[in-house]
Homo-oligomer: A and B are copies of this chain.
Amino acid sequence: MGKQQAILRESMERLDLTRTAFADRLGVSRRALDTWLLPEDSNGHRAMPDVVARLITSLAGPDPASDGASDLRGRLSAASGRPQLLSVDVFDRELAEDFMRVAESMEPIARRHKVSRVLEGAVLGNLFFEPSTRTRVSFGAAFCRLGGSVCDTTGFTFSSMAKGESIADTSRVISGYVDAIVVRHPEQGSVAQFAAATHLPVINGGDGIGEHPTQALLDLYTIRREFARLGKTIDGSSVAVVGDLKHGRTVHSLIKLLSLYKNLRITLIAPKSLEMPRDLVEAARARGHRIREDSSLDALKQPDILYATRIQKERMSGEGVEAYPENFRVDRALVKARCSGDTVILHPLPRDSTPGANDLSSDLDRDPRLAIFRQTDAGIPVRMALFAILLGVDHLVAGSLRDAPWTSPPRLGPADAAFHRLK
C-alpha cells in the first residue's frame, strides 16, 4: 500500500479508533477519509491535505517513520494492516529492492565483524510445530545477532493445543510473553490463523505446502549478490529451475518474486507429473516472461541461474513413474555440458547425498559456481532485516554497531576458499 494508506491505518490502530470515529476526531467526513485510504492507483484515490497529516501526527504521536525510521514496516504491513510477513505476495519490485538494501546493511553483523544490541531486551517466540532445525536456528541466530533473546518451542505437539486449545488462543497467549513470533506449522493456512489473532510481528516460517517467504527472499538476495559480482542484472537474465516443481513451495515463491523483474527467460524442467502448477506458469507469462517447460535436462542451455531441487521418488505416481528419467541428477558432467563459466548454481537445501539420489551432486562442491552455502549464509542478513523492519529498528542498526572482539575464520568451510577468491 502507499505511504498515505500506511500512515492512516497505523494511526487508527495506534489511537484504537474505527474509521468513523477517526474521521470524527480529524473533523473530516467519513467519505473523505475513505478516499485517502484507497490504493494510490485506484480511481477514487485522493491525496490527503498536509494539514491533516500534521493533525494526525499531533493526535497519534509522531509517526515512527518520522524519527528517521524507514517506511518499510508500513509497506510490509500492507497486506493485513499488521507488521507480518505471511507470503511473498506483499512484494512489488520496489519493496523487494528496498528490502534487499536493508539486508545488505546487515552483512557486517552477519559476517561477525560487527555486533549490534539494538533489540536487547526483546524476546522472540520461535514456534516450530514441525521440526526444522536449520530454519529454527537461522531465525534464532538472526534475532540474537540483533541483541534479542529467543524462546524456542520444537516438535509436533503443543501440549495445550492437544487439550483442544484453538490456534487463536495459543497465539494471543504467547503474544503476552514475547515481542515477535516465527511460526512453522505443518498445515497450510494455520500460520495465517495464528497471525490473525495477534498484533505482534509474525513471520511465516513455512506452513506445509503453503508459503516459506524468507526462503524465497534469501534466494533472491543471493541471486542479486551473485549477479552484482558478475556484472549482470536480473532483468533479461535466464533462469532454469530443475526438479520437483509441483510440491516445492520454495520454487513457487521464487517464481513469484522473479516475476517482479523484466524479460526473464525461465526454463522449467520437471519429470512428468511433477510440473510447476499451471496458475504460476500463466501468471509469470502474463508479466511478459518467456517460459519454456521440458522434462529433460537436455533443455538446459547455459542459464545464468541453475536452481536445482530434490526429487523424492515416492512423489512420482502412476504414469510419472514410467516416464521417470534415467538421470535427473545435477552433477559435474551435466554442468560441464550445459552450463557456462558463470552459471550460478543454487539449491534450497537440504540435498539428498545418499548414492543414486536425484539431487545436486557433491562432486560440484569445490566448483566456484556452486553458491549453495553462500545461499544458506544469506538467511542471516535476510532474517535480521525482516526482524529489524517489523520491529521498527532498521534505522537504528547502523548507529548501534561496535567491533566483534572474538576471532572469526576468514572462510567458514574448507571449500569456501574458491568462493572468496571470486569476490
* A residues apposed to B, CB below 8 Å: 13-14, 16, 64, 73, 82-83, 109, 112, 115-123, 125, 131-134, 136-138, 140-141, 144-145, 147, 149-154, 157-161, 163-166, 168-179, 196-200, 310, 349-354, 357, 359, 362, 373, 376-377, 379-380, 391-393, 396, 404-417, 420-421
Contact = CB atoms under 8 A, between A and B. Distances in A.
Nearest to A127: B133
B141 A123 contact: yes
A160 B174 contact: no
A38 B392 CA distance: 55
B352 A164 contact: yes
Contact of A352 (B120, B165, B198, B416): B165
B137 A350 contact: no
A413 B194 CA distance: 11
Given A64-B407, A141-B177, 14 more contacts: A13-B410, A16-B410, A109-B121, A121-B147, A131-B159, A149-B150, A160-B350, A164-B352, A172-B415, A173-B373, A175-B412, A175-B413, A179-B408, A393-B407
B121 A404 contact: yes
Contact of A176 (B133, B165, B373): B373
A393 B405 contact: yes
A169 B412 contact: no
26 contacts: A16-B411, A16-B417, A16-B420, A117-B121, A119-B405, A121-B147, A122-B404, A123-B141, A132-B159, A133-B160, A137-B151, A140-B151, A141-B149, A161-B350, A163-B350, A164-B351, A164-B352, A165-B350, A165-B353, A172-B376, A173-B376, A176-B380, A177-B380, A179-B408, A199-B412, A396-B405
Contact of A123 (B144, B350, B413): B144
A199 B408 CA distance: 9
**Copies of this chain, how many?**
3
Q: Which 9 A-B pairs have the closest CB atoms?
A: A115-B121, A392-B407, A164-B352, A199-B409, A160-B350, A176-B377, A165-B350, A144-B149, A166-B353
A157 B357 CA distance: 20
A406 B179 contact: yes
Contacts of A153: 133, 137
Given A159-B131, A380-B176, A393 B406 contact: yes
Contacts of A83: 407
A421 B393 CA distance: 28
B172 A413 contact: yes
A118 B73 CA distance: 31
Contact of A413 (B131, B199, B377, B414): B199
Contacts of A351: 164-165, 169
A165 B133 CA distance: 13
Contacts of A380: 176-177
A362 B404 CA distance: 47
A199 B406 contact: no
Residue from A120, A122, A153, A409 having most chain B Cβ neighbours under 10 A = A409
Contacts of A118: 405-406
Contacts of A410: 13-14, 16, 199
A133 B117 contact: no
Residue from A163, A170, A373, A405 having most chain B Cβ neighbours under 10 A = A405
A349 B173 contact: yes
A178 B137 contact: yes
A211 B335 CA distance: 41
A391 B16 CA distance: 39
